[in-house]
Amino acid sequence: MTISSSNNKVAVITGSSSGIGYETSLMLARNGFITYATMRNLNKSENIKFNAGKENLPLRLAQLDVTDDVSIKNAVQAVLSETGRLDVLVNNAGYVLEGAFEHLSMNELKEQYETNVFGLIRTTQAVLPIMRKQKSGTIVNISSVAGKFGYPGGSAYVSTKFAVEGLSESMAYELEPFGIKVIIIEPGVIRTNIFNSVVIAKNSKDPNSPYTQTTQKMASSFERMMKDASSPELVAKVVLEAVTNETSNLRYLAGKDAETWLDAKRKMTDEEFYKMMKQNLL
């Protein structure tokens, strides 16, 4: 049975069990979107289910693992069967792999790319035929200011976000003729579980590593930054603004720190920015 009408836009958000995905799912549902909060493990859905029920929101849950083609196909098919359309995809699922570049194993790197890059690609390719047929749709890719500059210990995560930036720009040209928008959201440091659940490269845990001093300094810097981190709700508000604005931009920053860093990046030479980052982080 179709539950949507031309007035009810349908949104799918990946990685909705916590953080940005969680808040974005609730934000869109509160603003009238028929929202599918998806996650790899539905056992982590209790909080969002409780809040959606309490507020009587048009929010549904669906299992979706961005690293699994069958899981994606089943989730997208379920949404289409129930609603007859799909208007917004928010590619949010991701995690942070930290460690000195020399210490990163190929398996660790591949797993990072499987979720942060190939997961985004799989999910987007699954919804594009639907959006093309509709002649409308919005793809929102949650990137990061780390998609604009690197930092010590972040080569794995940073390179996935650089990839997301390039993918998104190229997609925007191709999809515009079909009425499909591409939007990139670039948060700064956000108070979410992503930093509590950082995956540390196995070889970087060795206390005798030549990079231990750098790693420890970076850990202290992030601890400091987390004290002034923005809330995931701020990012959700930016997503809402982007998907409801008829003349949406390609890029949206989320967080004062993101604005400060990218303003410095624009105004400084590469050498000046590099020196500033070293002073601030190391």
H or E element, residue 276: helix 270-281
* Burial profile 60-85: b = 16 or more Cβ within 10 angstroms, e = fewer: bbbebbbebeebbeebbebbeebbeb
Instruction: Name, in order, each residue with C-beta under 8 angstroms of 248's C-beta and a sequence gap of 6 or more.
Output: 138, 181, 183, 242
Residue pair 15/41 in contact by the 8 Å Cβ criterion: no
Q: Which of 22, 36, 151, 157 is catalytic?
A: 157
Cα four-point dihedral sign 235, 237, 239, 242 = negative
Give yes or no: 157 in active site: yes
Q: Is 255 left (phi over 0), alpha (psi -120 to 50) or beta?
A: left
Catalytic residues: 157
